[in-house]
Amino acid sequence: MVGSTQRGAAKGMRWAARAIGLLAAALILLMVIASAIGEAVTEGWGAGNQAELIQGALIGVLGALGLAGCIVSWWRLRLGGILLVLTSVGFAIHIGLLAGHSHFLAWSMLGLPYLVAAALLFVSWRLSAETA
């Protein structure tokens, strides 16, 4: 009975982690696209600050890393969790270096969902290992 309860809990955590991670990755994708469109409308396609382009590319890379973590989590829970933790830490570093005030608020919107998803994956991986 305990084994089936743990398996059910682990499965629920896996699904919740994947949903949270995919929603966070979709939010990042929408932010990058909206920012690019906004820049193009206000300043034209050719204009743009090199630093802003690098920052946008870095956010896109971190979002892709988070999406990769969600995809990998279908086969390898621990590796997917590690990728999601790296994404969260990457956002913390990016925000800490480039943001003005309210670092925690900005990180809680961008990096915290990845950290929560990673924690759920790690707990699910541990429960799955105990019932195997």
Closest CA to 132 of 14, 10, 13: 10
For residue 46, with 0-12 CB atoms within 10 Å meaning exposed, 13-18 middle and 19 or more buried, which class applies? exposed
Token pair recorded at residue 61: 């890379």
Q: What is the dihedral of CA 51, 53, 59, 65, to 10 degrees?
A: -120
Per-residue model confidence (pLDDT) at position 88: 93
Q: pTM of the prediction?
A: 0.84
Through-space distance between the first and last CA atoms of the chain, rounded to whole angstroms: 14
For the segment 69-79, what is each residue's pLDDT rounded down to a tens digit? 999 999 999 99
Token pair recorded at residue 6: 């743990």
Mean pLDDT of 108-117: 90
Token pair recorded at residue 27: 């939010």
Q: How far apart are CA 6 and CA 75, in angstroms?
A: 19
Check whether 132 has a pLDDT greater than 70: no
Q: Which of 19-33, 35-49, 63-77 has the lowest mean pLDDT?
A: 35-49
| Entry field: residues in the chain | 132
Q: Which helix (H) or strand (E) holds 75?
A: none
